[in-house]
Amino acid sequence: MLLDCWAIPCVLFLTWIFLKTKYGLRKLFGVGICVAGVVLVVFSDVHASERKSKGPSPLKGDMLVIAGATLYAVSNVTEEYIVKKSSRIEVMAMLGVFGAIISGIQISILEREELRSTEWNASAVLPFIGFALAMFLFYSTVPIILKICGATMLNLSLLTSDMWAVLIRIFAYHEKVDWMYFVAFAGTAIGLIIYSYKGSREAAEDTAQVTGATDEEAATENHGAERVPGAGEDDGPDTNKSPSEAATSR
């Protein structure tokens, strides 16, 4: 579960290369601790497999999760670039349109038999509706977070879901968690705190950047509103003309 934090160093690298984002040594140190937590997760799964874990190949699963986290980082950085360069509403609309098309193709190819065998009653439909609403809220909020905070902070905030997953495994499913997992979780939490901490100067700079972006959007909207009449050249007589100029124009 904690392997999804591998997306954080990937996001850092991609934003540094393509978006020219600058990171200080303290933030890089925090990311390094998070990566150390990832390594501990891999070792904890190997340690569990030595004790005949239920999973057939936990190490292979870890590698697949890391690959998925890398692709997710690419997706987040690309979306951050598009959100900051174009309309946020357009991004959300295109996500919905192409997401529906791709999901429909995947369902028709991979899950046709499951759809045919499903009994469409309230107990089957309501979870789908709840999941759809949750995804709608998530993907409607992500572009806002990406525009204001960036892809790195988005991935950091997603790590909090791991804490709830561990609690559910322990108290709901009564599963035993390897002790190395708790060490990895503590290391990841420390890394997140180090990364997220901001001094007064950095906080002031971030506030100024957000305020400047908001003012720029407002100025653009006001400029467009002032030009509403169209050409704006025949809105009425020009009171600044002298009587001779007015007579000549007639």
Structure tokens at 32: 């390094």
Q: Cα–Cα distance between 250 and 244 in angstroms, integer?
A: 10
Percent of the chain with pLDDT over 70: 71
Query: Strand, helix or coil at 135?
Result: helix
Q: What is the pLDDT of residue 158?
A: 81
Percent of the chain with pLDDT over 90: 23
Tell me the CA distances in angstroms from 53 to 1, 3, 59, 120, 221, one per residue in order.
16, 18, 11, 36, 59
Q: Cα–Cα distance between 158 and 164 in angstroms, integer?
A: 11
Q: What does pLDDT average to over the chain?
A: 77
- pTM exceeds 0.75: no
204 burial (CB, 10 Å; 0-12 / 13-18 / 19+) is exposed
Q: What is the pLDDT of residue 236?
A: 47
Neighbours of 42 (CB within 10 A): 19
Q: What is the DSSP letter of 3?
A: G
Asked whether the predicted pLDDT for residue 220 surpasses 60, the reply is no
Residue type, 224: G
Residue 56 banded pLDDT, cuts 50, 70, 90: confident
Average pLDDT over residues 179-197: 81
| CB-based contacts of 115-118 (< 8 A; 24+ apart in sequence) | none
Q: What is the pLDDT of residue 235?
A: 47
Average pLDDT over residues 110-139: 91
Q: Cα–Cα distance between 189 and 33 in angstroms, integer?
A: 9
Q: What is the pLDDT of residue 232?
A: 45
Q: Which spans in 149-199 are helix H?
A: 151-158, 160-171, 179-196
Q: Cα–Cα distance between 85 and 159 in angstroms, integer?
A: 27
127 burial (CB, 10 Å; 0-12 / 13-18 / 19+) is exposed
Average pLDDT over residues 184-191: 82
Query: Strand, helix or coil at 238?
Result: coil
**Per-residue pLDDT tens for 57-109?**
778 888 888 899 999 999 999 999 999 988 889 889 998 999 999 999 999 99
Q: What is the pLDDT of residue 55?
A: 62
Q: What is the pLDDT of residue 141?
A: 92
